[in-house]
Amino acid sequence: MSDTLVESSAGSAFLDLHKKIIEQGSPALAELQQVALNRFEVLGFPHSKHEMYTYVNTKGLVETAFSLSDGSKKVSEDFVASHVYPGCENQCLVFVDGIFNRDLSRVEKVSANLVPLSESVSSDQDLKKYLSETAENENDVFAALSTAFCGEGLVFKVGDNTQISEPVQVLFVSTGGSPVMHAPRLVWQLGKLSEVKVIEKFVGVEGGYFINAVQDWLLEEGAGVSFTQVQADASDSWHFSKTRVHLHRNSRFHSSNASFGSQLARHHYDVRLQEEGSELRLNGVSVLDGKEQVHNFIRIHHEAPQCVSHQHFKNVINGHARSSFDGTVIVNQGAQLTSSDQLINNLMLSNDGHADNKPNLMIFADDVKCTHGATIGQIDKEQWFYLQTRGLSARVAKELLTRSFAKSIIETIEFPEVVKDLNSTLLKKLEVRNV
Amino acid sequence: MSDEQNSVSDILEDNTYKYGFTTDVESETFAKGLNEDVVRAISKKKNEPQFMLDFRLKAFAKWKTMKVPEWPNVHYPPIDFQNISYYSAPKQKKVLNSLDEVDPEVMRTFEKLGIPLDEQKKLANVAVDAVFDSVSVATTHKKKLMEVGIIFCSFSEALQEYPELIEEYIGSVVPVGDNYYAALNSAVFTDGSFVYIPPDTISPMEISTYFRINTEETGQFERTLIICAENSYVSYLEGCTAPQFDTNQLHAAVVELVTLENAEIKYSTVQNWYAGDKETGKGGIYNFVTKRGKCQGDGSKISWTQVETGSAITWKYPSCLLLGDNTTGEFYSVALTNGHMQADTGTKMIHVGKNTRSSIISKGISADYSSNSYRGQVKVGKNATNARNYSQCDSMLVGDKSSAHTFPYIETANSSVQVEHEAATSKISEDQLFYFESRGISRENAIEAVISGFCKEVFKQLPMEFAVEAQKLLTLKLEDSVG
């Protein structure tokens, strides 16, 4: 794997832009941003054959001259309200163009949990150390870029033995309309035996923007997280996100992602099962059309014995869309009794779509059970025929089968309102044509 | 039971690498180093036609611009390509008329290896081409094959007698600049085997080549070209061994297969190059091989079967280019690593034609400190309608210091395809062994049974003699590692 850089002019445009953020930003974060910027310079933008970006063409993104949001664009309360799920009205954090917007958010119930990132970095030396070490060792150039440009982020703390039973929604609104880059940043710290349920939704008012989000989940012993992400950005936007998860003894992290796709949506998960008994579940579904693309990049490190990880991803590909998956499960030496499975199913509806998969296993321990599977196929003709014999038209039968393919993931989401929303919006994309 | 006990004790006695001897043969070896003059000298030495020299020089020019691939999951110190001799041949005074004139030392070497070339003793129904260091020393059964029109000879001979066939096909499957080691091979290859099966011919016997590296610090660069014309069939076997040296030797071969309409080639390899010292990892062969088959004609088929048990480092991806419609590619592999061996092996199935199908069955076993990677690509082009692939790659780990990796690449650009991939990693379970032992079967035999069950799907693809040999080889190698 070579790390040959793309021509430096694109990188230097970002460097110039960075001066601005240092001037405007908080001094407490400046050190972290500088570390990340240095890392960004070392890594450079990837060329098309870079092993981490095999199926992702970032040329268009790199060549776009992005500017930073000046925070002047307003979002109406109605727009926000239309994207807040029923049941989350009282616990909703709203980010507009990457910056936490207190006026639009409803945080009365959780205000004690929220600490601005700059404040947390100044007071919590452990967190500061963790963040700068992570930035120093970052291997994903876009995550380095995000940290270098992050505005005032948020730290969400849940104390020991605290369970927040109502789901917390985080809404990322991008105003768009011009090539603007923003980099929201969140850190979730969960104390021992604490629990939280989180729904994140990414939406855009207009397209053309580049959202590059990074978040860290630090789970102490016995903590539990249910995490749902809905990526519903404008179809001509760029969406990059990196989710780092650190799991300690007996903690569990259940995540579901539903993607509408965009010009390029890349989800990067980096999960470390650091202590015995931790458990991970990653599910994902995407329904793509036109020229949309979704790329899932997953690295799961089994560092301790007796941990469990499950992954299941399903993609429906229509039009000229492209779905790609690059996932590796790494079982370290000594991580005996690991159980890990990974399954990727792709349903191809058109002749011009692409489905690319790279499900890897790297195993350094002998007493483990690891499996992976990947399939690419079409609607089962026999099932389709059967439904037609029962009086359904070919069109309806096909739509029914496609919907049920996607639904098997959507219905694992534990929030009925999100399921309802996805059934009516995400699956609506299937009705447009080709059925 | 007593039979089984015997077989285990046989195995125990034979536990060392029994092919590790060297043969004292007077040989002619070029001085170490590589430059254009060496390439010209090799070509001149072999009295090659002009097109061959041009081919070599083109490859050499290309090679100079290329970099050593770093993507495989193997680690070794950089190879000094100037510290290798690129030509070594047993010294011969004159052209040989019959096998009786071959250096008796060389003949004895092959006898020790269990490959009798002697006319009287030769294997009943297998034609053998024996390659000693870089040069083909003997080819058996040539006449009998010629009767049905099959050409089976050393590459050098083919260059003299059938240059038009070579010119047409060489480099057509593996272009000169395909990869670093293929380019090196194209520039400096010395010999190898050439097979041509004429139309409508079923080869009456198995055809095989036996490779032996003898001289220290030479590289072996052989080239095999098999062309199977319309409606023909051939089964080809390949075996390899090398003496024990403390230094690493380089083996960079290229194999090209071409099938025309409705033809079929079945290519089987049992690779048992010296793997280096089991404890220290010192010495052993670097096995960097490019093997590729092209299903050019409609309805043709190429099937690769490999049993990889040797080499310090293996880097090898026998591939199929499915160009014709209704063509089939198959890959069956057992790769065993133990000691400090590293293997990064797998296949590529490139679907271009319509209704093409491929299947991949790969079994990796890693023991001791070794690392075993499967790396495979299934690529379906835009026009490959109704393409079908099934891949299965299973790994078995023996010992907690070994590692197993799987790197599949699945790329499709067509909606009518059906691609399935599955992989699993496991160990020999204590429960299984306990069950065997409770039935009075010794632990060694139990392990042998489990391993042979694990690899059954691949072994059944091998010709019978090879299957027996392969299974023994695995048991022998795993002795000491389990239990």
3-state class (DSSP) for residue B100 = helix
Higher-confidence position of A28 and B149: B149
pLDDT at B5 (0 to 100): 38
For residue A307, give the 3-state DSSP assignment: coil
Quickly state the pLDDT bin for B329 (edges 50, 70, 90).
very high
Task: Classify each residue of B99-133 as buried b or exposed e, where b means 16 or more C-beta atoms within 10 Å of its C-beta.
Answer: beebbeebbebbeebebebeeeebbeebbbbbbbb
Specify if B447 maps to a domain: yes
In a domain, B216, yes or no: yes
Q: Point out the residue among A51, A356, A378 whose CB comes nearest to the CB of B410.
A: A356
Q: Calculate mean pLDDT across residues B294-321.
A: 93
- The C-alpha of B393 sits at a distance from chain A's nearest C-alpha, in angstroms, of 10
Report DSSP letters for B363-418, one per residue.
EEEEETT-EEEEEEEEEE-TT-TT-EEEEEEEEEEESTT-EEEEEEEEEE--TT-E
Q: Is the pLDDT at B123 greater than 50, yes or no?
A: no
Please state the ipTM of this predicted complex.
0.83
pLDDT digits 0-9 by tens, A68-96: 887 778 899 999 999 999 999 999 999 99
Residue B122, pLDDT above cutoff 60? no
Residue B107 pLDDT > 70: no
Where residue A4 falls among pLDDT bands split at 50, 70, 90?
A: very low
pLDDT, greater one: B265 or B426: B265
Q: Which of B318, B348, B126 lies closest to B236, judged by CA?
A: B126
Average of per-residue pLDDT across A409-414 = 94
Pairing label, strands A99-100, A92-96? antiparallel
Number of domains in chain B: 1
Q: Where is pLDDT greater, at A74 or A309?
A: A309
* Residue among B71, B421, B427 minimizing CB distance to A373: B421
Asked if A4 reaches chain B (Cβ–Cβ under 8 Å), the answer is: no
pLDDT reported for residue A1: 38
Residue A354 is nearest to which of B398, B402, B412, comparing CB atoms? Answer: B412
* Closest CA relative to residue B142, chosen from B98, B82, B175: B98
pLDDT number for residue A434: 45
Mutation target among A360, A367, A402, A434 for the B interface, most CBs of B within 10 A: A360
Q: What is the DSSP string of B433-481?
A: HHHHHHTT--HHHHHHHHHHHHTHHHHTTS-HHHHHHHHHHHHHHHTTT
Q: Are B424 and A370 a contacting pair at CB < 8 A? A: yes
What pLDDT, on the 0 to 100 scale, is given for residue B264?
96
Choose the weakest-confidence range: A12-16, A408-412, B116-120.
B116-120
pLDDT digits 0-9 by tens, B345-362? 999 999 999 999 999 999
Instruction: Say if B425 falls within a structural domain.
Output: yes
**What DSSP string describes A357-390?**
EEEEEEE--SS-EEEEEEEEE---HHHHHHHHHT
The stretch A155-164 carries a mean pLDDT of 95
Q: Which of A101-110, A214-223, B16-25 shows the lowest per-residue confidence on average (mean pLDDT)?
A: B16-25
Q: Reply yes or no on whether the pLDDT at A36 is more than 80.
A: yes
Mean pLDDT calculated for residue range A189-207? 96
> What ranges in B77-194 are assigned the alpha helix state H?
104-112, 142-147, 155-161, 163-169, 180-188
* Run of H or E including B329: strand B328-337
Cα A51–chain centre separation:
20
The torsion defined by the Cα of A378, A379, A380 and A381, in degrees rounded to 10, comes to -100
The residue-averaged pLDDT of B210-237 equals 82
CA A54 to chain CA centroid, nearest Å = 18
Residue of B nearest to A347 (CA): B415
pLDDT, tens digit, 9 for 90 and up, residues A318-358: 999 999 999 999 999 999 999 999 999 999 998 889 999 99
Which residues, listed in sequence order, are joined to residue A305 by a DSSP beta bridge?
Answer: none
Instruction: Flag whether pLDDT at B388 surpasses 80.
Output: yes
For residues A5-20, average pLDDT: 66
Whole domain around residue B232: which residue ranges? 2-478
A51 to chain B, any CB pair closer than 8 A? The answer is yes
Q: How confident is the model at residue B22 (pLDDT cuts 50, 70, 90)?
A: low
CB-nearest to A363 from B70, B403, B422 is B403
Shortest CA gap B406–chain A (Å): 5
Question: B407 to chain A: nearest residue by CA?
Answer: A360
> Quick check: B407 pLDDT over 60?
yes
Is A329 part of the contact surface with chain B (CB cutoff 8 Å)?
no
Tokens linked to B71: 């993507």
State the pLDDT confidence band at B246, using cuts at 50, 70 and 90. low
CA nearest B214: which of B188, B240, B242? B242
For B211, the token pair is: 């490779």
* Predicted pLDDT at B111: 63
Strands B126-132 and B135-139: antiparallel
Q: What is the pLDDT of residue A2?
A: 38
Q: CA nearest A376 in B: which residue?
A: B419
| Beta-sheet strands, E only, within A275-368 | 279-288, 293-302, 308-317, 322-331, 339-348, 354-363
- Segment B276-293, tens digit of pLDDT: 887 887 888 888 999 999
Assess whether pLDDT exceeds 50 at residue A424. Answer: yes
- Cβ-Cβ contacts under 8 Å, A361 against chain B: 395, 404-406, 423, 425
Residue A24, amino acid: Q
pLDDT (0 to 100) of residue B275: 82
pLDDT band at B380 (very low <50, low <70, confident <90, very high): very high
pLDDT reading at B462 higher than 90 = no
Q: Mean pLDDT across chain A, nearest whole number?
A: 90
> Which of A54, A373, A377 lies closest to B418 in CB terms?
A377
Confidence of residue A62 (pLDDT cuts 50, 70, 90): confident
A209 contacts A181 by C-beta, under 8 angstroms = yes
> B388 and B417 in contact (C-beta within 8 Å)?
yes
Note the pLDDT tens digit of each residue in A96-125. 999 899 999 999 888 889 999 999 999 999
Picking from A302-311, B300-309, B457-466, which range would have the lowest pLDDT averaged per residue? B457-466
Q: Is A57 exposed, middle or buried (0-12, 13-18, 19+ CB in 10 A)?
A: middle
Q: Write down the residue that tokens 């019959």 correspond to.
A: B98
The average pLDDT across B188-198 equals 89
Higher pLDDT residue, B85 or B157?
A: B157
